[in-house]
Amino acid sequence: MTTTQPATGELPIPGPGVSATSGQRQRTAMRTHLCGDLRADHVGRTVSVCGWVAHRRQHGQSLTFVDLRDHSGLLQVVVDGSVDVRSEYVLRVTGTVAIRPDGTANPALTTGEVELRDCAVEILSVATPPPFPLDDRADAVDESTRLAYRYLDLRRERMQRNLRARSAVLGAMRAALAPFDFVEVETPLLMPSTPEGAREFIVPSRQFPGSFYALPQSPQLFKQLLMVGGTDRYFQFARCLRDEDLRADRQYEFTQLDLEMSFVDQDDVLEVISTAVLAAARAVTTEPVPPIERITWREAMNRFGVDKPDLRFGLELVELTEIFAGSGFKAFAGADAIKGIRVPGGSAAHNRRRLDDLTTRAKSLGAKGLVWMRVGAGGKLESPAAKFLSDDELAGIIAATEAVEGDLLLLVADEWATACEVLGQLRNDLGRPPAGQGPLRFVWVVDFPLFVGVDQATGRPKPGHHPFTRPHPDDIAKLEIDPLEVRSRAYDLVLNGWELGSGSIRIHESALQQRIFGLLGITPEEANARFGFFLTPFGYGAPPHGGFAVGIDRLVAILAGEENIREVIAFPKTQSGLDPLTGAPTRVTDRQLRELGVRVIAPEAPVTGSDPAGERG
């Protein structure tokens, strides 16, 4: 081995025609370049790189090949003689960049044209063999094992790419907001309990025994108070916490771009958020991103059956109710709504067993049943229900669905909401691709209902959003007369069928707020007890305002092509809420409990060891 590092100890400076790569921007006392940044332009230069041993190949006693890895990629290092290094040893290598011999270039690597020769190798740290390979093979490793050794899992190219995509999203969003004159403000993590939303995490107070803080489900109350305080435009990348059952798109802890704006209407908020999320998408993907579409909640339900529609595929719901007005078919007679979907070419793909499974699925979703029809030769509909329908009805189905031979039709007759929701779920079951596959299709869903149904116990309407959401100005007169028909100034942003976040224009007048509280059965005394610290400031002059919150974890997951947000979070919990790395949650000592004035009375159960088994703004 030979050493070619300059005797002065100074780092080599790139010569004419060599661009300043990120490797040179990350120059330190120990390295001149990142492993993945070296190219043919660097041939003949003496460089120093640092990283982990990915592979070592010994060619007798005369030559050793080492693949050195850092977050930027792999670099082949050629060492004269034998060098005693193992997988994941940390090395500093100084050598000369050279073109690989003919026939040995590796097009799978960005550095595949070059290698490092005449190398001096310094072992910076030895390593125990890792419990799983730190490459794509780790994708098949049990998740609890990967999370227990997350510091190793993070070395993998996939995880490094995801973390850098997340950083790029945050940077792009912050830069996109700058021209809009936003002020970045941090809001408290310890706040009073306001249990009108999801279950909260509660924190006992040592100084005030018997009293508790809550961790914020969102900065909702504080960001509105910032508007009362004249901040005008606020944002932060807020950490939020909710004690909810976990799933692929939900964690106890999550991050959202949270913002609020004064003297605005809905279009102003949507413009700002659209600018930020499109900038984030462009920072991560090279694919063209189409403009964000906008549809009403009712249109979303009528066309897609869900309020977070996936626009990447067809199978849209078709309205069939009028075709069966006065029908003699018992299953359709008197139904509030009859809707269907056409599955192109689905007839051959669905045998009787699969059709029975679809019927069972529809019933499990709340439908009374499911009518299926195959489209045979000449457009003839083949179905057990066909004999109960008139020729006009059968012809009407074909015309409305635009069905052709070989298609499969699925029909549901029920209450409007049930018919939409059941077919919406079947549509997703049959056609929805993975969230990160295919084009990016953003859509704004606006004009949500202010209330969603009636509480059977109280007879009061139930809020569709939080109780500070502003009613649609055209519907305020309906509040006491027909509250379930009142639209709100609430809006959701959806990407590829995932809800990225929600927001609304807020109520800023005391009289209108009291009307809403009255409809919900909240007396002035109860309102003061629950929200007094929030409502009192509004009496001192509150501006019209509105806001939004974007779920960063969900956005990054889709942009990175991941189906689970845990893959874009550095240190997540498992789906059961455990942290295999730290063992959390853990018990605390009796002394700690006494200091807090807390006594554990729940039955003891193990909480450590191996793993068993949207955001509102």
Cα-based angle 612, 614, 615 (whole degrees, multiple of 5): 130
101 and 68 co-located in one domain: yes
Q: With both helix axes pointing from N to C terminus, report the angle between 266-284 and 552-559 in degrees, rounded to the nearest 10.
A: 40
User: Which whole number is the average pLDDT over 401-415?
Assistant: 96
The amino acid sitting at 519 is: L
Look over the chain and give the mean of its residue pLDDT values, rounded to a whole number: 91
What is the reported pLDDT for 6? 32
Residue 338 contacts residue 332 (beta carbons within 8 Å): yes
How far apart, in whole angstroms, are the C-alpha atoms of residue 164 and residue 493?
Answer: 24
Neighbours of 413 (CB within 10 A): 27
Q: Considering its fold, how many domains does the chain have in total?
A: 3
What is the reported pLDDT for 530? 79
CA atoms within 13 Å, Cβ hemisphere of 458: 11
| Residue 168, in any domain of the structure | yes
Q: Distances from the Cα of 518 to the Cαs of 439, 490, 512, 555, 612, in angstroms? A: 45, 20, 10, 37, 46
pLDDT in tens, 144-203: 999 999 999 999 999 999 999 999 999 999 999 999 999 999 999 999 887 666 899 999
Q: Residue for token digits 């309990």?
A: 193
Q: What is the CATH number of the domain that holds 380?
A: 3.30.1360.30
How far apart, in whole angstroms, are the C-alpha atoms of residue 318 and residue 305?
Answer: 10
Domain boundary among the residues 388, 414, 431 is at 431
359 and 399 co-located in one domain: yes
150 and 288 co-located in one domain: yes
φ, ψ of residue 381 in degrees (nearest 5): -90, 125
155 and 284 co-located in one domain: yes
Binding positions for L-aspartate are 196, 242, 465, 506
What is the reported pLDDT for 604? 59
Q: What is the CATH number of the domain that holds 74?
A: 2.40.50.140
How far apart, in whole angstroms, are the C-alpha atoms of residue 539 and residue 212?
Answer: 28
User: Which whole number is the average pLDDT over 429-449?
Assistant: 94
Write the burial class of residue 39 (CB in 10 Å: 0-12 exposed, 13-18 middle, 19+ buried).
middle
Check pLDDT > 50 for residue 5: no
| Residue 374, in any domain of the structure | yes
What is the reported pLDDT for 37? 95
Check pLDDT > 50 for residue 616: no
Domain boundary among the residues 97, 125, 153 is at 125
Cross-strand pairs, 230: none
pLDDT in tens, 384-400: 999 999 999 999 999 99
Q: Which of the 8 DSSP states describes residue 502? A: E
What is the reported pLDDT for 358? 96
Q: Which of the 8 DSSP states describes residue 293? A: E
355 and 275 co-located in one domain: no
Q: Residue for token digits 């009061």?
A: 460
| Residue 447, in any domain of the structure | no
Q: Which of the 8 DSSP states describes residue 326? A: T
| Residue 574, in any domain of the structure | yes
Check pLDDT > 60 for residue 23: no
Q: Which of 223-237, 516-530, 594-608 has the lowest mean pLDDT?
A: 594-608
pLDDT in tens, 449-459: 999 989 888 98
Q: What is the CATH number of the domain that holds 554?
A: 3.30.930.10
What is the reported pLDDT for 615? 38
What is the reported pLDDT for 355? 96
Check pLDDT > 90 for residue 438: no
| Residue 534, in any domain of the structure | no
Neighbours of 375 (CB within 10 A): 26
pLDDT in tens, 440-498: 999 999 999 999 989 888 989 999 988 899 999 999 999 999 999 999 999 999 999 99
Check pLDDT > 70 for residue 104: yes
How far apart, in whole angstroms, are the C-alpha atoms of residue 297 and residue 114?
Answer: 56
Q: Residue for token digits 């009108």?
A: 196
Neighbours of 252 (CB within 10 A): 16
What is the reported pLDDT for 601? 87
Residue 566 contacts residue 572 (beta carbons within 8 Å): yes
Write the burial class of residue 5 (CB in 10 Å: 0-12 exposed, 13-18 middle, 19+ buried).
middle
Write the burial class of residue 609 (CB in 10 Å: 0-12 exposed, 13-18 middle, 19+ buried).
exposed
pLDDT in tens, 67-87: 999 999 999 999 998 899 999
CA atoms within 13 Å, Cβ hemisphere of 496: 22
Total count of residues recorded for the chain: 617
Domain of residue 243: give its range: 143-293+543-598
| Residue 605, in any domain of the structure | no
Distance of CA 184 to the CA centre of its chain: 23
How far apart, in whole angstroms, are the C-alpha atoms of residue 237 and residue 220?
Answer: 13
187 and 100 co-located in one domain: no
Binding positions are 196, 242-244, 251, 465, 499, 506, 551-554
User: Which whole number is the average pLDDT over 527-540?
Assistant: 86
Check pLDDT > 60 for residue 65: yes
Q: Which residues contact 429 (CB under 8 A, 6 or more apart)?
A: 361
Residue 606 pLDDT grade (very low, low, confident, very high; cuts 50, 70, 90): low
Q: Indicate the Cα dihedral angle 124, 128, 134, 138, nearest 10°.
A: -170
196 and 276 co-located in one domain: yes
Q: Where are the beta strands (DSSP E) in 242-380?
A: 253-262, 293-296, 318-319, 337-343, 371-375
Residue 527 pLDDT grade (very low, low, confident, very high; cuts 50, 70, 90): confident
User: Which whole number is the average pLDDT over 35-51?
Assistant: 96
Write the burial class of residue 62 (CB in 10 Å: 0-12 exposed, 13-18 middle, 19+ buried).
exposed
Cβ contacts of 170-178, under 8 Å, gap ≥ 24: 170/237, 170/552, 171/283, 172/276, 172/279, 172/280, 172/282, 172/283, 173/257, 173/276, 173/277, 173/279, 173/280, 173/550, 174/237, 175/279, 176/275, 176/276, 176/279, 176/280, 177/235, 177/259, 177/272, 177/276
What is the reported pLDDT for 613? 32
121 and 147 co-located in one domain: no
Percentage with pLDDT > 70 across the chain: 93
Binding positions for ATP are 242-244, 251, 499, 551-554
Tokens at residue 530, please?
């629950």
65 and 153 co-located in one domain: no
What is the reported pLDDT for 8? 32
198 and 263 co-located in one domain: yes
What is the reported pLDDT for 333? 86
| Residue 378, in any domain of the structure | yes
Domain boundary among the residues 389, 412, 431 is at 431
Q: With both helix axes pointing from N to C terminus, report the angle between 266-284 and 157-177 in degrees, rounded to the nearest 10.
A: 140
User: Which whole number is the average pLDDT over 378-384?
Assistant: 93
CB burial of 302-337 (b: ≥16 within 10 Å; e: otherwise) equals: bbbbbbbbbbbeebebbebeebbeebebebbeebeb
User: Which whole number is the average pLDDT over 289-318?
Assistant: 97
Percentage with pLDDT > 90 across the chain: 81
Tokens at residue 202, please?
């509660």
The amino acid sitting at 308 is: K
pTM of the model: 0.89
214 and 81 co-located in one domain: no
What is the reported pLDDT for 196? 62
**Selection from 495, 556, 561, 437 nearest residue 165 by Cα:** 556
74 and 169 co-located in one domain: no
For residue 1, the SS3 value is: coil
| Residue 531, in any domain of the structure | no
How far apart, in whole angstroms, are the C-alpha atoms of residue 510 and residue 487?
Answer: 20
Q: Which of the 8 DSSP states describes residue 608? A: S
